[in-house]
Amino acid sequence: METTLRGVGVSHGVAIGEVRHMGTAVLEPPAKRIPAEEAEREQGRARQAVDAVAADLIARGNLAGGEAQGVLEAQAMMAQDPELMADVDRRIAVGSTAERGVYDAFASYRALLANAGEYLAGRVADLDDVRNRIVARLLGVPMPGVPDSDEPYVLIARDLAPADTALLDPALVLGFVTEEGGPTSHSAILARALGVPAVVALPGAQELAEGTVIAVDGSTGDIFVEPGPKKRAELEQAVLARKATLSSSIGPGATSDGHTVPLLANIGGPSDVPAAVAAGAEGVGLFRTEFLFLDDSGRAPSEEKQIEAYRTVLEAFPEGRVVVRVLDAGADKPLAFLTPADEPNPALGVRGLRSLLDHPDVLRTQLTALAKAAQGLPVHLEVMAPMVADRTDAKAFADACREAGLSAKFGAMVEIPSAALRSRSILQEVEFLSLGTNDLAQYAFAADRQVGALSRLQDPWQPALLDLVALSAEGARAEGKSCGVCGEAASDPLLACVLTGLGVTSLSMGAASIPYVRSALAQHTLAQCERAAAAARAADTADEARTAARAVLSGE
């Protein structure tokens, strides 16, 4: 019988296919004891397994490229964490087998994360995946992962580790549904990069029986179980209509009455550039530079290595705009040489610009490399700092840019509510703002962006979040400066129209979302977008805001 379930849609499109479940996790190894003379051999086995898993994760990252590469390299660093390995060695020395030592050491570290307030709850799935891969290798059993299938299917899982998501084959995996995760989890971000329809935070997702036919609407979050002929026809017609609309939408981003809204791409490195160019991106609105720093050397990359990577991206957008975010380390992206290891709450600690100001040599090298990479190129380079809290932060960053000889524009990310509230003050020191809606929602609602149970508060349609966006845009307009959005909110076509109505001057998103947003803007006037924005802000809940905006834009 046809039924409808509702999760959180995180990647556009519709997929119809049979359910296939993710491979089961590795079972807990037995608590077998070993004699003392075998300890050294078992420690060697553990190290070999860890190194093999780390190498496999790095190889997967090299194949996937882009943002996925940085995520997987971070997992490899997690596998080889010196403190974890020291704990494994200690446990083996007192009688544990290699597999049991690994299992217990990871369990202990997992408990530490939970006791730290669960800011890193989204990384727990990554940690579990690393543990399972190491234990599987030691036990000689198949790795957990996506099912083998010759026919296309819809993948169901409790959650998807980056190592699995990054290498999904869109020809076989029509879409995926997870029970956990949130709209800004790694799975969601990578799904958008792949262009695979996806729904997360669906309660009871794993109860869907193997082989059940479902339809996944990654835009609305609806799951139609055993859809009948009428529903199938309706969904298939919607897919065809959407494809026709997308194919007819080309050129720069603009509303139907000619109000320009540059559509830019979020990228994680040079390997993301081809997709951005193919999607018609008018430049880069968020160049995440973390990928350069996530290797196993334990130190920052050289100026020469940075220049090479930056120039590759800058050369791809002649006469275009490229906005580079300097290193955003800390919280869920710790770097041993940069961030404290013992922070009680990394989310509220030394991350982003705070970390760079504590290590001015790292910031200086990055800014100098960017200045040299842009020399002789017609590109419009802009550089921004993450986690700017106030004018003092903005001035410190602007001063560092000038000292490095950077002739580019420099700006501030609005990820902390204080920056939105005091946007005009911050704009006395910098030349533009860029809203990171993922973190802005996290800090506005005290809701970890990686915890699926809090997805209601991570919804970018929350009226309070829209108020903060409006405050930032109004401050920028008053100062005659620009205010873009580079968070995941920009990838929602309906919300993109609302953001335009709020006064946002550019939108940046994953390349796969650009055609959808371009098409949506082209169907509405600026006045309609402004009315939709006012209706959304007048609502009390995210769902009501979404419904109100849709009613305005559809003419209901």
What is the SS3 string spanning 264-314?
Answer: EEEECCHHHHHHHHHCCCCEEEEEECHHHHCCCCCCCCCHHHHHHHHHHHH
Is 529 catalytic? The answer is: no
Query: Which position among 12, 359, 401, 486 bears the catalytic label?
Result: 486
C-alpha closest to that of 216 among 520, 456, 22, 11: 11
Instruction: Summarize pLDDT for 202-243 with one digit per residue, the tens.
Output: 998 989 988 999 999 988 899 999 999 999 898 888 878 777
Is 186 an annotated catalytic residue? yes
DSSP string, 365-431: HHHHHHHHHHTT---EEEEEESS--SHHHHHHHHHHHHHTT--SEEEEEE-SHHHHHTHHHHTTT-S
Query: Are the C-beta atoms of residues 467 and 198 closer than 8 Å to each other?
Result: no
Q: Residue 4: helix, strand or coil by DSSP?
A: strand
> CA-CA distance, 422 to 442, in Å (whole number)?
18
- Return d(Cα 109, Cα 304) in angstroms, integer: 36
Q: pTM for the whole thing?
A: 0.71
Element (H, E) at 105: helix 98-115
The span from the CA of 362 to the CA of 303, in Å, is 10
Residues 6+ apart with CB under 8 A from 276: 265, 267, 284, 316, 511, 514
Q: What is the pLDDT along the chain (556 residues), one digit of tens a residue?
A: 678 999 988 888 899 999 998 876 656 888 889 999 999 999 999 999 999 888 888 887 777 666 667 777 777 888 888 888 999 999 999 999 999 999 999 888 877 655 544 434 456 667 788 888 899 889 887 666 777 778 899 999 888 777 777 667 878 899 989 988 776 666 777 777 777 899 998 998 989 988 999 999 988 899 999 999 999 898 888 878 777 777 777 889 999 999 999 999 999 888 889 989 988 999 999 999 988 887 655 678 899 999 999 999 999 998 889 999 999 986 666 677 777 767 777 778 888 999 999 999 999 999 999 999 999 999 899 999 999 999 999 999 999 999 999 989 999 999 999 999 999 999 999 999 999 998 999 999 998 766 656 778 888 999 999 999 999 999 999 999 999 999 878 988 999 999 999 999 999 998 888 988 999 999 999 999 999 999 999 999 998 999 999 999 988 6
Q: Which of 12, 186, 359, 524 is catalytic?
A: 186
Return the SS3 of 202.
coil
* DSSP secondary structure letters along 124-167: HHHHHHHHHHHHHHHHT-PPP-SPP-SS-EEEEES---HHHHTT
Cα–Cα distances in Å, from 213 out to 19, 22, 168, 197, 232?
6, 16, 20, 15, 11
Residues 511 and 192: their CA atoms lie apart, in Å, by 8
* CB neighbours of residue 348 within 10 Å: 12
Q: Phi and psi dihedrals of 306, rounded to 5?
A: -65, -45
Q: Which residue has the tokens 């962006």?
A: 449
The amino acid occupying position 463 is P
In whole angstroms, give the CA distance from residue 272 to residue 264. 13
Question: What is the structure's pLDDT at 118?
Answer: 41
